[in-house]
Amino acid sequence: MALSLREKLTMLTPPSLFYRRRIGEETESGEPELALLQDIVPRGGTAIDAGANQGIFAYALAAIAERVVAFEPNPDYAFFARWMLRGRAEVREFALSDAPGRASFYVPLSDEGAVLHFAGNLKRMHSQFRNMKTYQVDVRTLDSFGFSDVRFIKVDVEGSEREVLNGARETIARDRPALLLELLSGTHENPGAYAAAICDDFGYDAFIVQHAEKIAALPMIAALGKNTSWGTHIESRNVLFLPRPRKVK
Is 248 contained in some domain?
no
Here the contacts of 210-217 (C-beta below 8 Å, separation 24 or greater) are 210/32, 210/234, 210/235, 210/236, 211/235, 212/32, 212/35, 212/36, 214/240
Give me the mean pLDDT over the 214-235 stretch.
Answer: 95
- Residue 152 belongs to some domain of the structure: yes
DSSP letter at 215 equals E
SS3 assignment, position 46: strand
Residue 195 lies in a domain: yes
Tell me, yes or no, whether 59 lies in a domain: yes
Question: What's residue 161's pLDDT?
Answer: 97
Write out the residue range of the structural domain in which residue 124 sits. 5-243
Specify if 249 maps to a domain.
no
What is the count of structural domains for the chain? 1
Three-state secondary structure call for residue 210: strand
pLDDT at 248: 59
Residue 36 belongs to a domain: yes
pLDDT band at 130 (very low <50, low <70, confident <90, very high): confident
DSSP state of 65: -
pTM here is 0.94
Residue 237 covered by a domain: yes
**What pLDDT band is residue 1 in, cutting at 50, 70 and 90?**
low
pLDDT tens digits for range 45-67: 999 999 999 999 999 999 999 99
Q: Tell me whether residue 43 is in a domain.
A: yes
Provide the CATH number for the domain around residue 221: 3.40.50.150
What digits encode the pLDDT tens for the residues 147-163?
999 999 999 999 999 99
